[in-house]
Structures are given as C-alpha cells and as structure tokens.
Chains A and B, each alone.
Chain A
Amino acid sequence: MDNEIALIELVKKGDKKAYNTLVLKYQDRLVFSVYKFLKDFELAQDIAQEAFIKAYKNIEKFRGDSQFYTWIYRIAINTAKNVISTKARASEVYDNDTTDQLLSESATTSENPENILQAEQLRSEINKALQNLPEDIRVTLSLREFDGLSYEEISKVLNCPIGTVRSRIHKGREMLDQTFSKYNLSNFEAIKYE
C-alpha cells in the first residue's frame, strides 16, 4: 500500500514508468474482473485498457481514500456498463433493465478463449508447486498471499525476524517461478517511456 502511494505520487509528477509498473501489476486482475462481468475476453481486454488510460488521464482525481485497484476497478466497470448501454441504445431499447439483461446475456453466451484452458493448467500447477514447497516457506508465503499479512505481522505470527520472512517469501516465489518457464513468459521487450 505504501509503495502504491509512492508510485501514484510519481505518476502524478508525470512519471510514465511508474504507471507502467502499476499497469503490469494490475492488468491480470483487472482483465479477470471485467471478464467475470462480461464473459468476453477480447472485450474485457479492451475495457481494461480503456480503464488504464482513463485512470492515467484522471490520476489527479485519485485522492488515495481507497486502494488504486478499487478505483480503477470502478472505472473499468463503469466503462463496461457504458459499452453495454451503447449497444442497447443502438438497438433503441435502452433502459437500465435492458443494460442488466444484456450484461447477463453477455455473461452466459460468449465463448471462452483457448488461453483460458492454459491459464487453468497454470493455476493448477502453481497451486501444486505451492503445496510442494518446504513447510516454512509455504506457510510464510501463504500468510502473505492469502491472508494479506504484512512482513511485520508475519514475523510476529511465526515468531521469526522480518529478514527471515522476506527471504522465505522471495525464495518461495523463486521456486514457484520455475513453473512459468513452460509458458515462455520471460521474453518481454523493454519499452522506454518518457
């Protein structure tokens, strides 16, 4: 959370690299949330992209009252509703009920992309890999990822130094990262931003 405030302060000063860091951080979660809403993968990507652009243009309005993700999620869902409303207007039957109906229809009729199967496999393998981690590392990483505890809180719960928590979490992530080698995700082009 503290990092997030620091990142947003950098973005407010015009640092696009900081914004790219935020986009990389939240893109999967945001596309997933919109996809849950619309059940249309292509549209979910477009809406998430639109939401990130809108959020950047309005970043001065972000006051930090909520988490950045909560804010951008709201933008994305409103954008999704607008897209559906536009569709409804095009068919000249627009009202709120129709929008909800279209959302509901969209949620049940669109086909899933092929990559979803790959994602399911990866999720399953990651969870398997997590279960196979040494117990101290698995417990520490789980407290962080599933219970959302801070390093300080984990150190109190497990009665160990913060440095140990830090290195266990890092080690755990390193071990889980090996699962990704099968998915060819390490070749990303570095793009420079102004």
Chain B
Amino acid sequence: MNETLEERLSMLLDGEVTPFETKRLVDEIDCNPHMKALWLRMNKQRAALKGELIDPALDISSSVMSHLNSTSQTISLKNKKTWHISHFFPTHYFKACCYLLGFFLVLSFPLLNLNNFSPSDSFSKITNSSKTFNKNLPLPGNEALLVDLGSNFNGNLKNYRMVSENALEANYQLAGNEAVKIKVFFNDVPQTERLNLLESGITLHTKAGNEPVVLNVSSDQISNSKLIKISNTFFKK
C-alpha cells in the first residue's frame, strides 16, 4: 500500500494523476508525516538535479501556512465567470427566443442557401457541404454546430462569441478540466492574426462550400500532439 502511495506521489510530482487522485494525495501529504517528508525530499531532489537547490534544510512552508492560518484569510467563492446567455435572460424567455429564431431560420433556408444544413452533422459534413457554418448566421444558430463540434472530442462548450465580423471564438472544457479554444475564421485570416496563429496551437485550413474556413485549436494546458488528435475529430465521419 505504502509502495503504491509513494509511486503515486512521484506521479503527482510529474502531473500524471487525476484531479480526484490529487485530492487524495493532498490529504495524504497533510496527515501522513512520512508522505510529507517524502514529498519535500522529492521536490528537493528535483531542485538539486536542476541546480536550483540553495539550502537542503530550507522549509518556509510552515511559516507561510502559519501566517495564512493566523490571518484567517478566506477566499470568496465567486460564481463561475463563464458567460452564458441564460445569466441575462430568464430561461423560459430564452427558450421562446430560440424557438422563434429556429422557426425563422427554417423559413430563411431557401433565402440563405442553407438547405443542406443539419445541426447534428459533424464538422466534416458542415465543411464539405454548403455555407452552413456561416458568419451571417446569428450566434445562437451557430451554437448547435459548436456544441456538435465539441461532442466529437468530448468537449463541453463553455462560451462563444463573435470576435469580429469574420471570426468567432469558442471555449470548451474537457473531462480533465482542460480548456480548449477554437477560433473560426471565415473567408481569410487578418494579417494581424497570422503570426499569432503560427505560435498558438494547431491551425487547419478547410472549406465550407466554396468559401475558405480557417480553424485554430489551442490550449495552455494540453500538448500539441493532443491538439492534433482533437483537430482530427473535426473530420471524423
């Protein structure tokens, strides 16, 4: 049992355990002096290997925590800051608006040449069909597509917005609390944005009907190899 815990502590040091396991290990470090000492030594070992160890006996954690306990600092538990339209409108009002919007959208299909549109289609169908993922489509109309896009890689759509006339930005949360941002540029990418895209995540160039669409997938928390896997799901059948 101890052996397993020690190995898990080593995994915690490397960021290789789940959030649930993290909580368990935090409790273990707090209540088990052996585990706390081991955690301390593991970190000192890492610091020594990287030439960042200045004093083997250094431990300021007790004084930091004593200070925090004495000042009884409480952290206000703010509500999640994720933007959602239901924060601004009563739910029933929002639903009624969506129904009305959907009704008018159906009526406007022939006008907007959106007759191939189906919200349940995967992005491959969307990009290969006519202009369904459309800058002219109001945001709530694009939401179904964004939700559908996220379902391809088990990402929950947190929020989304039009960042300019020709671009929208959507934020997703994955199961492990990882955040992924997808930017969609209709037509072309502005000059100012080109350099940013080179340095940020994975960029895909595709088409919606005859119009070019550029997609950029980025995250501060996950590797590019995983971002590639996510971007591959956009084109799954």
Residues on A facing B (Cβ under 8 Å): 1-7, 9-21, 23-29, 31-33, 35, 41, 44-45, 48-49, 52-53, 56-57, 59-60, 64-66, 113, 115-116, 118-119, 122-123, 126-127, 130, 144-146, 150-151, 153, 166-167, 169-170, 173-174, 176-177, 179-180, 183-194
Contact = CB atoms under 8 A, between A and B. Distances in A.
B58 A151 contact: no
Interface string B1-30: 000001100111111111100110111011
26 contacts: A2-B19, A2-B178, A10-B26, A16-B65, A20-B29, A23-B61, A24-B40, A27-B59, A41-B54, A44-B54, A56-B64, A56-B68, A59-B75, A118-B56, A119-B53, A144-B14, A150-B15, A150-B16, A167-B7, A177-B41, A180-B45, A183-B56, A183-B57, A188-B59, A189-B33, A193-B30
Nearest to A27: B60
A190 B31 CA distance: 7
B168 to A, nearest CB: 20
Interface in B78-135: 78
Nearest to B62: A191
Contacts, number: 234
Contact of A116 (B46, B49, B55): B55
A130 B45 CA distance: 11
A41 B33 contact: no
Contact of A64 (B14, B17, B76, B220): B220
A173 B38 CA distance: 10
Interface of B: 6-7, 10-19, 22-23, 25-27, 29-33, 36-69, 73-78, 176-179, 220-221, 223, 225
Contacts of B57: 115, 118, 183-185
Contact of A2 (B13, B15, B38): B15
Given A5-B221, A173-B42, A31 B7 contact: no
A64 B179 contact: yes
A126 B54 contact: no
Contacts of B74: 14
Given A49-B60, A130-B49, A119 B54 contact: yes
B83 to A, nearest CB: 14
A25 B7 contact: no
Among all A-B residue pairs, the 9 with the closest Cβ atoms: A6-B19, A28-B47, A115-B55, A190-B33, A17-B30, A6-B22, A126-B48, A32-B52, A170-B10
A179 B24 CA distance: 28
Nearest to A7: B22
A121 to B, nearest CB: 9
Contacts of A66: 220
B44 A17 contact: no
Nearest to B66: A191
Contacts of A189: 33, 62
A3 B77 contact: no
B65 A191 contact: yes
A66 B75 CA distance: 21
B67 A53 contact: yes
A57 B220 contact: no
Nearest to A120: B53
A3 B12 contact: yes
A97 B152 CA distance: 55
B221 A122 contact: no
B220 A21 contact: no
Contacts of B59: 24, 27, 188
A184 B57 CA distance: 8
A126 B49 contact: yes
Contacts of A14: 74-75, 77
A9 B64 contact: no
Given A119-B55, A185-B41, A191-B65, A170 B7 contact: yes
